[in-house]
C-alpha cells in the first residue's frame, strides 16, 4: 500500500480508503438501498482493511442515520489512535429549519453527535458534505476553524463542491487566515469523468488532495452488469450514480479484456485506473460482502501500462467542453490543429 500526502497538508493517507456507507445493522433506509452490513462483518472488514495497510476510514453523520459512525467506532475499538477517521457534516436525519447545512449552529451540534457515535474525542478529517447555498462560507470556515482550535477536529475537507466553490472557499480562508480545506471528496470513475474538466485542475492548482467516491459507479464497473441482463446488487434498485449505459458497457468490455490478460478482476482494473490518474490521492472503496472487499484491496497491486491506460482513457472519453478545447495545453500549440484530421 502506498501513502500520499493529503494535499498540502502533512497528513499521510493510504491510496485506498475504506468507505463505510454499507454499514447498517438497524435496517434503515441505507440497509434497503445500499447495504445492510452487520457489526460482525463490519469489524471483519475494518480488520481486513487495516491488515492491507489502509489507514483512513470514511463515514458521515447521515450514513444510516448515524449508525455507520457508531459501527465504525466499535469496529476500530482500541485501534482508533492508529488510524484516521474522516466523517462529514451537512445532511441530517431531521427536518427542522436549522438542521440541514453548514451554519455555525448546525456544525457545532453535529460535531458533538459524530464524536459521541464514533466514541472518540477528535475527528481527523471533518468534511463539509455539500455546498450550502444559504450559509456564507465565512461562517462555515470560522466554525470549522474553532473546532480545530478546540482540538475536536484535526483537518477540514469538502465534498461535492464545484470548482468555483472550491476556489472561493480557498480564497476566503486565505483572506480570513482560518484553517484551509485540505481535501476534496468527489465522484470519479471510468463512467464518470466530469471532474477532470474543472475539479481536478482546481484541486491540483490549489494544493487540495482528492478522495474519490463511488469508484465502481455503485458496482456498475465490477462487471456483473452486462448488456445481456442485470445482476442483483445495489444498482438493480438504485441506479446511482447515473451511467451512460452504451458507453458504460464498452468500458466494461475493455476492462474485461485487460483483466483477463492480467489475471485480475474487472473491479480491480477499474480501481487501478483511478490509482494511476493524476490528481487522485486516495480511492474510497466500498463493499457489501467480504469477498468484494478482498477483491478491491487487490487493486493496489495492479500496474497498468501506458498502452492499457490509453485504451481505457479512449473508451471512456468525455466530450470536451468550452473553454477547455479553446485553452492551449502548452505554449505555442496551434489550437486549430486539434480539429484537423491529418
Pairing label, strands 12-14, 3-5? antiparallel
Nearer Cβ to ligand NAP (176/240)? 240
**Cis peptide upstream of residue 306 (ω within 30 degrees of 0):** no
- H or E element: which one contains 153? strand 153-159
Q: Is 233 in the site for ligand NAP (CB under 6 A)?
A: yes
Among 9, 20, 70, 165, binds ligand NAP (CB under 6 A): 20
9, 14, 22, 114: which one contacts ligand NAP (CB under 6 A)? 22
Q: Is 218 in the site for ligand NAP (CB under 6 A)?
A: yes
Q: Which of 66, 215, 248, 279 binds ligand NAP (CB under 6 A)?
A: 215
Tell me the window of 16-24, 75-83, 255-263, 320-328 that interacts with ligand NAP (CB under 6 A).
Answer: 16-24
Q: Rule CB under 6 A: is residue 58 a binding residue for ligand NAP?
A: yes
Which residues touch 197 (CB under 8 Å, ≥6 apart)? 318, 321, 324
Task: Single out the residue of 84, 213, 282, 300 in contact with ligand NAP (rule: CB under 6 A).
Answer: 213
Non-local CB neighbours of 319 within 8 Å, separated by 6+ positions? none
Buried b (16+ CB within 10 A) or exposed e, 173-209: beeeebbbbbbbbbbbbbbbbebbebbbebbeebebb
CB of 11 to ligand NAP, least distance (A): 18
63 is catalytic: yes
Work out whether 75 is an interface residue with ligand NAP (CB under 6 A).
no
**What is the rounded distance in angstroms from the CA atom of residue 161 to the CA atom of residue 102?**
13
What are the phi and psi torsion angles at 176 (to 5°)?
-80, -20
List the one residue from 7, 16, 19, 252 that touches ligand NAP (CB under 6 A): 19
Q: The cell 483511478 sits on which residue? A: 274
User: Contact between 287 and ligand NAP (CB under 6 A)?
Assistant: yes
Kindly state the smallest distance separating residue 168's Cβ from ligand NAP, in Å. Answer: 19
Tell me how far CA of residue 146 lies from CA of 103, 110, 151, 156, 227, in angstroms. Answer: 13, 14, 9, 11, 52
* Binding residues with ligand NAP: total (CB under 6 A): 29
35 binds ligand NAP (CB under 6 A): yes
Evaluate whether 67 touches 267 at the Cβ level (below 8 Å): no
- Least distance (Å) from ligand NAP to the CB of residue 77? 20
282 binds ligand NAP (CB under 6 A): no
Cα–Cα–Cα angle for 33, 35, 40, rounded to 5 degrees: 155
H helix intervals, 104-189: 104-118, 137-149, 163-176
Span near ligand NAP by CB under 6 A; candidates 116-124, 146-154, 214-222, 297-305: 214-222
Which residue in 70, 222, 281, 316 binds ligand NAP (CB under 6 A)? 222
Nearer to ligand NAP, 33 or 176 (CB): 33
Residues with a known catalytic role: 63
Binding site for ligand NAP (CB under 6 A): 19-22, 35, 58, 159-160, 185, 213-219, 222, 224, 233-234, 267, 284-288, 292, 295-296
Amino acid at each position: 500500500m502506498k501513502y500520499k500526502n493529503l494535499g498540502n497538508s502533512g497528513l499521510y493517507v493510504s491510496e485506498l480508503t475504506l468507505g463505510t456507507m454499507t454499514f447498517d445493522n438497524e435496517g434503515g433506509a441505507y440497509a434497503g438501498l445500499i447495504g445492510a452490513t452487520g457489526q460482525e462483518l463490519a469489524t471483519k472488514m475494518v480488520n481486513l482493511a487495516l491488515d492491507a495497510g489502509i489507514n483512513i476510514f470514511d463515514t458521515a453523520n447521515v450514513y444510516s442515520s448515524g449508525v455507520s459512525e457508531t459501527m465504525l467506532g466499535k469496529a476500530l475499538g482500541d485501534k482508533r489512535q492508529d488510524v484516521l477517521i474522516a466523517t462529514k457534516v451537512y445532511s441530517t436525519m431531521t427536518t427542522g429549519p436549522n438542521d440541514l447545512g453548514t451554519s455555525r449552529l448546525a456544525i457545532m451540534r453535529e460535531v458533538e453527535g459524530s464524536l459521541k457515535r464514533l466514541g472518540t474525542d477528535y475527528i481527523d478529517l471533518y468534511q463539509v458534505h455539500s455546498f450550502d447555498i444559504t450559509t456564507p462560507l465565512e461562517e462555515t470556515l470560522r466554525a470549522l476553524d474553532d473546532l480545530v482550535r478546540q482540538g475536536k477536529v484535526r483537518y477540514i475537507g469538502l465534498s461535492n463542491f464545484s470548482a468555483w466553490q472550491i476556489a472561493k472557499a480557498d480564497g476566503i480562508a486565505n483572506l480570513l487566515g482560518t484553517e484551509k480545506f485540505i481535501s476534496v471528496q468527489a465522484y470519479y470513475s471510468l463512467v464518470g469523468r466530469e471532474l477532470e474538466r474543472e475539479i481536478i485542475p482546481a484541486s491540483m492548482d490549489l494544493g487540495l488532495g482528492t478522495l474519490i467516491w463511488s469508484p465502481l459507479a455503485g458496482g456498475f464497473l465490477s462487471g456483473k452488469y452486462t448488456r445481456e441482463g442485470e445482476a442483483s446488487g445495489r444498482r438493480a434498485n438504485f441506479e446511482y450514480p447515473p451511467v451512460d449505459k452504451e458507453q458504460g458497457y464498452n468500458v466494461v468490455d475493455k476492462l474485461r479484456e485487460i483483466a483477463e490478460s492480467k489475471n485480475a478482476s474487472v473491479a480491480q482494473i477499474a480501481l487501478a485506473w483511478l490509482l494511476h490518474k493524476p490528481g487522485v490521492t486516495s480511492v474510497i472503496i466500498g463493499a457489501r460482502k467480504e469477498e468484494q472487499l478482498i477483491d478491491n484491496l487487490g487493486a493496489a497491486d495492479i500496474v497498468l501500462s501506458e498502452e492499457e491506460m490509453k485504451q481505457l482513457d479512449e473508451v471512456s472519453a468525455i466530450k470536451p467542453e468550452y473553454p477547455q478545447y479553446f485553452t492551449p495545453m502548452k505554449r505555442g500549440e496551434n489550437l486549430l490543429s486539434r480539429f484537423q484530421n491529418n
